[in-house]
Amino acid sequence: MHNLLLKPFFISLFLIAALSSCRRGEDPETPISGKLTLIADGAGIHAARIQGEVFSRYYPDAFIQAVPAEGSVQLRRGQAALISRKPQQDSLAVLRIEPVAYDALVVLVGIRNPVSAMTVTEVSSIFQGLRPFAGEALAEQVRLVSSGRQMATLVLRSEYVESALPDEAEGRVKLIPILKQGKGVFPDPEQIMNGSYPLVTTLYYVYYPGDGLAAGFGAWLTDRGQSVFARSGFVPLSEQSRTIILN
């Protein structure tokens, strides 16, 4: 399986290993071995678990434990984060932050709702102060919208793609496009990647660059991990230029 790794990716891990060994002395941790606690918020926890599992499948000596964030994220050595909000500016002097995937806010309405599109201003006005629904709250919102008891709901694309809709809502809800320069744009991967869809959010990876495994995992996320994001409801940073088979 390791012979499928691309040369640039292997070289980047080698360089990270060299830098890490210089900073950490005899610490046995490397970019492909050791333990790392990965803190994730919102929909990121699902992607964090999948990324950790696939990474460890390639590198059995690496253990990535994904845990949900509780309040604001405060990282310690041996920890990294997969979050939808950048950390406080004063912490960026030590931490490294890298965009690794896209998500999007999407509006869901009942199939019989005559609304065919919304502007960003209308979305902001209707859902002002509300966070996108997830988990059981998302399922309940879908039930309300599908029954016509609620006009619309705001959800994250990744949650909508990965969530199993309630049986009674199947075929009774729809995503509506968001108007940009008078044209309705749907939250399709291509429209999100090229910036056409106006309600895009970014998923960030935050870590201490001197931590070997955290740095190696970050290199994975921006390379081979891109296809894993695509399989967990998120949108890669760019079109995959090659097909990567992950078993």
For the chain, residues with pLDDT lower than 50 are: 1-7, 10-11, 14, 20-26, 241-247
Would residue 76 count as lying in a domain? Answer: yes
Would residue 26 count as lying in a domain? Answer: no
The strand pair at 62-68 and 200-207 is best described as: unpaired
Confidence (pLDDT) at 136? 79
Would residue 22 count as lying in a domain? Answer: no
Would residue 24 count as lying in a domain? Answer: no
Q: Are residues 161 and 172 in the same domain?
A: yes
**Total count of residues recorded for the chain:** 247
Confidence (pLDDT) at 73? 82
| Separation of alpha carbons 120 and 153, rounded Å | 14
Q: Are residues 179 and 69 in the same domain?
A: no
CATH number at residue 216: 3.40.190.10
Confidence (pLDDT) at 115? 93
Q: What are the b/e assignments for 54-79, b being 16+ CB within 10 Å?
A: bbeebbeebebebeebeeebebeeeb
Q: Are residues 79 and 196 in the same domain?
A: no
Backbone angles phi, psi at 209, to 5 degrees: -60, -20
Confidence (pLDDT) at 91? 58
Is the pTM for the entire model greater than 0.75?
A: yes
Confidence (pLDDT) at 105? 95
Confidence (pLDDT) at 92? 60
Backbone angles phi, psi at 118, to 5 degrees: -135, 155
Q: Are residues 116 and 75 in the same domain?
A: no
- What's the domain range around 72? 34-102+201-236
- Please say whether the beta carbons of 94 and 88 come within 8 A: no
Confidence (pLDDT) at 86? 76
Confidence (pLDDT) at 89? 56
Confidence (pLDDT) at 12? 56
Confidence (pLDDT) at 131? 83
Q: Are residues 89 and 173 in the same domain?
A: no
Q: Are residues 181 and 63 in the same domain?
A: no
Q: Provide the domain count of the chain.
A: 2
Would residue 23 count as lying in a domain? Answer: no
